[in-house]
Amino acid sequence: MDVFIIGITGKVGSLLAQKLVTRGDTVRGLVRQAEQRVDLAAQGIDAVVGNLASMTTDELALAFNDADAIVFTAGSNGGQAEITRAIDDAGVAKAIKASQQARVHRLALVSVLPESWRERNLSDEEEYYFTAKKKADIALSRSELDWLILRPSLLVDDPEIGTVSLGPAEFHGQISRADVAETLAELLHEPRIRQQILELNVGSVPIRDAVQANRHRY
């Protein structure tokens, strides 16, 4: 596959890129600095230098350039509202339009469990972050793309376990970013999983088996 990752320098995005390259896929992505492009080139990954917030839809569609799938792993993580708006809200909307324009039908979005952080007293900016994530989920789910929304639990940097709990509704716990990346890689390679929202938590099912258990049966 030829996969274009928005957020390729982030923790999940970079792990996903490594896993896809290991599988033999062509991996490309969007970076903000030329130095990042050089670093990725050393890993056999091509990158386009650009700022998602300021790029036009035409520019983003041109960057996609015949990709088989787009993966959107970028996010503000509850930071300043204007950044959240530009990335998690408008950025996803732009990616949807650019995918349609570039005739790339498969778009996978890493979102968030709606109940995440509800045990905390959230700031206004954090509340806005969850609102933006939900708005993006709705926009993608209403598109005609071959979309996929993955909602992982609290992301941690623990070692990869290789087993998960994956389904339309999961409890909120925590999961390693490496297991999220591996799950994404498996999902991208399973075309029968399409137009689905899947939630992801730590669990006991091998990742490949968990993915296969959620595929549409035609």
Q: Annotated catalytic sites, by residue?
A: 129
Q: How many CB atoms within 10 Å of residue 126?
A: 18
Q: Residue 208: which of 166, 145, 175, 146 has the closest Cα?
A: 166
Amino acid, single-letter form, for residue 118: R
Are 166 and 187 within 8 A, CB to CB? Answer: no
What does the DSSP assignment read for 13-32?
A: HHHHHHHHHHHT-EEEEEES
| Six token digits for residue 204 | 């006991």
